């Protein structure tokens, strides 16, 4: 009877596990701002669902980048939270989202986007191979310097601003998102 159980039950159990695996893997994606992120949705859609990324989403809309971040990519986005934007001088965000500042806003936002999928593991390995530093080239022409501090990935922008990766490896259908606590700024 035991052999008969193994013969028929084992394949059925394996099939059940295989069918459940995609749903389980999707549930493994970190939540952002209390919102569930879905690996089968693009960056723009997931960001729009996160209550702590509303300023970023408004800026992406003002810059006309929604279609880009909904497109095939792949992209890696270092997504500043609302609190990150709040660190900027008063009135900065309101000024940047004005139509006449679209070019500047686009430059700032694309300094948060790299081509391809860059996982936290890849960043850490590159930091280790680079003797404590790694350079991430962004689509906006900014080089972000990645380092490690107290077990966390830190990013330094061209102006010397430093961000900590708060949530890493948020998988998207068109790339990867890492949530950061500071807006990265280009030299202007």
Give the residue among 151, 160, 152 at the shortest CA–CA distance from 179. 152
Phi/psi of residue 162, nearest 5 degrees = -120, 130
**Which of the 8 DSSP states describes residue 51?**
G
Q: Is 17 contained in some domain?
A: no
Residue 165 lies in a domain: yes
For residue 10, tell me if it sits in a domain. Answer: no
Domain holding 103, by residue range, is 39-180
Q: Does residue 72 lie in a domain region? A: yes
Residue 95 makes CB contacts below 8 A (sequence gap 6+) with 101
26 versus 187: which is more confidently predicted? 187
Please give the Cα distance from 167 to 174 (Å, whole number). 18
Q: For residue 22, what pLDDT is reported?
A: 40
**Can you tell me the distance from the alpha carbon of 142 to that of 103, in angstroms, rounded to the nearest whole number?**
15
pLDDT score, position 114 = 96
pLDDT digits (tens, 9 = 90+) for 128-176: 999 999 999 999 999 999 999 999 999 999 999 999 999 999 999 999 9
pLDDT at 183: 97
Q: What is the pTM of this model?
A: 0.84
Residue 97 and residue 105: Cα distance in Å, rounded? Answer: 7
Instruction: Please tell me the predicted confidence (pLDDT) of residue 18.
Output: 35
Asked whether residue 2 is domain-assigned, the answer is no
Look at residue 5 in the predicted model and tell me its pLDDT: 35
Within 13 Å and on the Cβ side, how many CA atoms surround 150?
3
Quote the Cα angle for 62-64-68, to 5°: 140
Classified as helix, coil or strand, 44 is: helix
Question: Would 15 be classed as within a structural domain?
Answer: no
Q: Tens digits of per-residue pLDDT, 100-131? A: 999 999 999 999 999 999 999 999 999 999 99
Q: Look up the CATH number of the domain holding residue 77.
A: 2.30.180.10
Q: What is the pLDDT of residues 15-61, one digit of tens each?
A: 333 333 343 344 478 889 989 999 999 999 999 999 999 999 999 99
Rounded to whole angstroms, the Cα distance separating 185 from 176 reads 20
For residues 174 and 74, the answer to whether their CB atoms sit within 8 Å is: yes
More confident residue, 8 or 42: 42
Question: Around 12, how many Cα atoms within 13 Å sit in the side-chain half-sphere?
Answer: 6
Q: What is the pLDDT of residue 188?
A: 73
Segment 66-75 shows an average pLDDT of 92
Please state the domain count of the chain.
1
Domain assignment present for 73: yes
Question: Quick one: which of 22, 20, 51, 21 has its CA closest to 35?
Answer: 51
Tokens, residue 73: 């990519």
């Amino acid at each position: 009877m035991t052999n008969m159980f193994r013969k028929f039950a084992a394949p059925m159990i394996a099939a059940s596990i295989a069918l459940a695996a995609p749903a389980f893997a999707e549930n493994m994606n970190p939540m952002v701002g209390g919102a569930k992120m879905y690996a089968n949705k693009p960056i723009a859609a997931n960001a729009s669902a996160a209550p702590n990324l509303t300023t970023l989403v408004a800026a992406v809309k003002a810059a006309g980048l929604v279609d880009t971040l909904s497109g095939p990519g792949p992209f890696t986005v270092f997504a500043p939270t609302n609190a990150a934007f709040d660190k900027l001088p008063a009135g900065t965000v309101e000024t940047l989202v004005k139509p006449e500042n679209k070019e500047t806003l686009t430059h700032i936002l694309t300094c948060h986007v790299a081509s391809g999928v860059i996982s936290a593991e890849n960043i850490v390995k590159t930091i280790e191979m680079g003797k404590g530093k790694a350079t991430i080239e962004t689509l906006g022409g900014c080089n972000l310097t990645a380092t490690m501090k107290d077990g966390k990935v830190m990013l330094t922008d061209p102006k010397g601003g430093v961000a900590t990766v708060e949530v890493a490896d948020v998988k998207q259908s068109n790339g990867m998102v890492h949530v950061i606590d500071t807006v990265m700024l280009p030299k202007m």
